[in-house]
Structure 1
């Protein structure tokens, strides 16, 4: 599932290069639209003491539908980013892709909204989805929907980045991920604490220390990188809520 997440944030280096979007000329027979007044174009319902700093555009389309339309997700993102840059050159954009289990169903745009933690979509999801068991009898529960980790019925106090690191490996179960990929995927150019290939080991070591007796689910592949190994006592919960990932 894909989204174009347009917000005031620096785009990561791996995003598709900007493409030129040629504006459609206005026909001579078509009168030019009257410019709207500044008052009419302002964002409504902004609470007192706050200001609008950007917006999010949810785009629901999977890779097969994009291919049927004669395009690709990367091209769609690149053209939207180029259009925004053309309309407002001072703007900054950031894009991400929403991942969900294959065959999970649901409307694409709803899946994307859940992945990006849209409050209205989350509230509707909680009403419609049966509440899963909060506790497992023992072992590891990696709850991607709720962004939490349970170890023997106790919640592990992971930082946001530690959970993102674990989630990245879980979503690529069985594949060895090298250090460079982890850095490029989980840190953007605007971050102040971007690790190098040596210090990424420190982040993994901290994650493992919080996994305690289950630290071996994050396995080191010597000379290559890291891999998530699922054991019999490991459960991954996701229901229909996907997890966002960098595009």
Structure 2
């Protein structure tokens, strides 16, 4: 079965007024959850009240199989648990489809594929951002980088290097990981050494010009991309996610 990413959405009817808060305990040593009516999301907005919640799960069939389960098994187990906790709850589950090459955390890929508002809000639509905009545009869907509206002359491997860092924002990537991830299809003789990565990074920075500092060196560790106000990431439109369970 091809890799896919799971998202389960549960819709719970509006709760009836309770005389006292209820507590849920999932497992020993877990944190009790006590609903606070005055602090519920949307409480400050007239006519708006919580009607349910969505739980995004980043997991593909390969990783699930390695754990000895399947996505459908997990979905059914969650449904049974919800039914036991609240028989009146209604559930709905869908699978999120995304390119196997999509980088970043699995759960973030799932949120974006399923158009979760918070994830979508981080992406500025291409229709509102002209190519001549100032700053750096990392266009994942078209495999290109724009610097102040001009296309940067990056090689395929230089783009892959920048993309790998950008999609793992805030995490320091070691040189060994870059070699193993970006040159995994090459033989040991063709793959660069860890120090050769520094050469690739220097060439990439040279082509980024005045924006070279978006690729940060973490001394003794590797490289990292931190969020910058002048960097926009375009992911492109995701494929629709059909019902699966």
**Is residue 148 from structure 1 mapped to residue 156 from structure 2 by the alignment?**
no
Structure having greater relative contact order (Cα 8 Å, sep ≥ 6): 1
- Contact kept? 2:4, 2:60, Cα under 8 Å: no
Q: Does the 8 Å contact 1:170/1:228 carry over to 2? A: yes
Give the distance between the partners of 1:228 and 1:136, measured in 2 at CA.
23
Equivalent position SS for 2:112: coil
Which residue of 2 is the match for residue 62 of structure 1? 6
Q: Which residue of 1 aligns with 2:171?
A: 175
Partner Cα distance (1:150, 1:233) in 2: 12
Tell me, what secondary structure is at the counterpart of 1:206? helix
Aligned match of 1:210? 207
Distance 2:60 2:134 in 1: 46
Secondary structure of the structure 2 residue equivalent to 1:190: coil
* Structure with larger Rg: 2
- In angstroms, what is the RMSD of aligned CA positions? 3.5
Residue 222 of structure 1, CA deviation: 0.5
Partner secondary structure for residue 145 of structure 2: strand
Structure-1 residue corresponding to 2:223: 226
Alignment of 1:30-41 (within 5 A): none
Unaligned runs of 5+ in 1: 5-57, 80-95, 108-128, 243-247
Q: 1:182 to 1:131 in 2, by over 3 A?
A: same
Residue equivalent to 1:101: 109
Counterpart position of 1:198: 195
Pair 1:165 & 2:165 matched: no
Q: Deviations over 1:121-148 (max 9, x none)?
A: xxxxxxxx98564414211111111111
Q: Structure 1 residues 185 and 71, CA, compared in 2 at 3 Å: closer, same or farther?
A: closer
The number of aligned residues is 147
In structure 2, what is the Cα distance between the partners aligned to 1:223 and 1:190? 26
